[in-house]
Amino acid sequence: MIRKASLVIVGALMGATAMSVIYSAGVPAQAAGPSTYKELSIFGDVFERVRAQYVTPPDEEKLVENAINGMLTSLDPHSSFLNSKDAEDMRTQTRGEFGGLGIEVTMENELVKVIAPIDDTPASRAGILAGDLIAEIDGQAVRGLKLEEAVEKMRGAVNTPIKLTILREGADKPIELSVVREIIAVRAVKSRVEGDVGYLRVISFTEKTYDDLEKAIQKIKAEVPEDKLKGYVLDLRLNPGGLLDQAINVSDAFLERGEVVSTRGRNADETRRFNAGPGDLTDGKPVVVLINGGSASASEIVAGALQDLKRATVLGTRSFGKGSVQTIIPLGESGALRLTTALYYTPSGTSIQGTGINPDIKVEQPLPEDLQGKVRAEGESSLRGHIPGQNETEEGSGSVAYVPPEAKDDVQLNYALDLLRGNKTDPAFPPSPDKAAAVKK
């Protein structure tokens, strides 16, 4: 059995600039100097002037919140203040479950389009189908709403009803459904068998990720006899990160020993190292890790560990380059403070901050014609105010973050499958375990 990381580490995921985070009660700081308190008194004077004399009465709570966020965002792009609602949303994301309907959605022609209902959820039982367009939510038109706003309206307290008006191709009139919300557990890992290869896609690093990965590997082993199984593809593309402890555990799932990652803070005594324990869930089978410009934070920890320890070959394009750790400091009912407190380093002692993980085998994913010129390659190094990395260059980090919807069009995936099946060869595959001896312990 894989040994779990002993330190209680949790965190949140917020879009492409994801983070690895730690919950903390906070450490008291030394008292500031007199000049600092003088500046704070100036802030108080400005606040009172704005509150009393601005042309329209301002929202005082918003004024304070924006002032706090202005201070934090001046530090780096990942430090911020979370009000009570944002803090709860973050906890919901990291748990990997929420009160909702159980549908995967996107936006099409200003309407919410159902990609697919999740099996055995309120949506599937109510008869919602892939391709359905949601036109109204509780009587409010969807047009004019952002996708995030529409999703927020569909989520809610468990056992509460929601009314949907659906447009379905072939139906002569809109369909009205009443659905009762339930706890929806979001799969953190999706898997399938590609003939003689196990495919594992880690979508995000939530509290459920390691358990989902373990179940997926066992399922693949049950479907393919050991002597027929060529190996595994671990797909971390478009994975923006999440919980640090889950990144450690996912790395540990493929390792027998070795340092997975270290975190280094402001003071030398804050350095922490996390090691893998015995128990490779894949029994030493070859592994190819897929990354691209959408692979950030926790996914870069996994790719870096398996690459440095010569356990896997990394294939694709340069990752996002987000190498900092955020501590979540609860502030009671007011919310929470998300503060960058450390950088993390791969087993070789390398920081990927602003540089990203370079693949062992670079394979570009062609863009379809309708996306050419519309999709930009952005990484941590392109973010205004980011913490400069020790190895950062003008080239920076990141690459195009695109994965085709159909496996047959996925150049990177098919390259990995050909390597595992012996249809392609490359000096980087399989990696030499002997070279891992040079990795810093």
Q: Is 33 helix (H, G, I), strand (E, B) or coil?
A: coil
Q: Is 84 helix (H, G, I), strand (E, B) or coil?
A: helix
**Average of pLDDT values for 189-217?**
96
Of 3.40.50.720, 2.30.42.10, 3.40.50.620, 3.90.1070.10, the CATH number of 97-185 is 2.30.42.10
Please answer whether residues 412 and 374 qualify as being in contact, where contact means their C-beta atoms are separated by less than 8 angstroms.
no
| Nearest alpha-carbon partner for 12 in 350, 269, 328 | 328
Name the token pair of 33: 């100097």
Q: Is the pLDDT of residue 25 over 80?
A: no
Q: Are 146 and 205 spatial neighbours (Cβ–Cβ below 8 Å)?
A: no
Residue bearing the bigger pLDDT, 219 or 149: 219
Average pLDDT over residues 201-205: 93
Average pLDDT value over all residues in the chain: 88
pLDDT at 335 > cutoff 50 = yes
3-state SS assignment for residue 303: helix
What is the distance, to the nearest Å, from the Cα of residue 345 to the centroid of all Cα atoms in its chain? 18
Query: CB atoms < 10 A from the CB of 68, how many?
Result: 16
Shared fold status for 97-185 and 189-326+341-438: no
Q: Band of the pLDDT at 438, cuts 50, 70, 90?
A: low
Predicted TM-score (pTM) above 0.85: no
> What's residue 370's pLDDT?
81
Overall average pLDDT of the 71-93 stretch: 88
pLDDT for the residue numbered 301:
97
pLDDT, position 30: 65
Look at residue 79 and tell me whether its pLDDT is greater than 80. yes
Per the rule left: phi > 0, alpha: psi between -120 and 50, beta: everything else, 400 is beta
More confident of the two residues 373 and 294: 294
Query: Is 308 an active-site residue?
Result: yes
Residue 107 vs residue 343, higher pLDDT: 343
Q: What is the pLDDT of residue 39?
A: 84
Q: Which of 208, 285, 310, 322 is catalytic?
A: 322
- Quick check: 210 and 302 in contact, CB under 8 A? no
Tens digit of each residue's pLDDT (9 = 90 or more) over 281-325? 999 999 999 999 999 999 999 999 999 999 999 999 999 999 999
> In the prediction, which pLDDT does 320 show?
94
Q: Is the pLDDT of residue 15 over 50?
A: no
Indicate the helix (H) or strand (E) that contains 200: strand 197-202
**How is residue 253 written in tokens?**
């799932």
Backbone angles phi, psi at 315, to 5 degrees: -130, 145
Catalytic pick among 191, 204, 295, 297: 297
First CA to last CA across the chain, in angstroms? 23
Q: Which of 7, 30, 11 lies closest to 20 in space, CA to CA? A: 11
The stretch 363-370 carries a mean pLDDT of 91
Whether the bond into 347 is cis, omega within 30 of 0: no
Residue 333 has pLDDT above 70, yes or no: yes
Of 21 and 386, which is predicted with more confidence?
Answer: 386
Task: Please tell me what DSSP assigns to residue 6.
Answer: S
The percent of residues in the chain predicted with pLDDT above 70, rounded, is: 91
Residues 314-343, mean pLDDT to the nearest whole number = 92
Kindly indicate the confidence band of residue 27, based on its pLDDT and cuts at 50, 70 and 90: low
Give the whole-angstrom CA distance, residue 13 versus residue 6.
Answer: 21
Q: What is the rounded CA–CA span in Å between residue 87 and residue 169?
A: 39
> Bridge partners of 326?
21, 340
Q: Could you tell me which CATH number the domain at 189-326+341-438 has? A: 3.90.226.10
Q: For the chain, give every domain's residue range.
A: 20-95, 97-185, 189-326+341-438
Beta bridge partners of 175: 166
- Dig out the tokens for 203 from the structure: 């979508």
User: Is the model's pLDDT at 21 over the cut of 70?
Assistant: no
How confident is the model over 264-274, as a mean pLDDT? 91
pLDDT of residue 6 exceeding 60: no
Which is catalytic among the residues 132, 212, 252, 308? 308
- pLDDT on residue 220: 98
pLDDT band at 376 (very low <50, low <70, confident <90, very high): confident
Q: How far lies 439's CA from each of 254, 319, 350, 434, in Å?
A: 17, 21, 10, 10
- What DSSP designation does 182 have? E
- DSSP track, 224-266: S-TTT--EEEEE-TT---B-HHHHHHHHHTT-SSSEEEEEEES
What tens digit of pLDDT does each residue of 381-433 get? 988 899 998 888 878 898 999 999 899 999 999 999 999 999 999 999 999 87
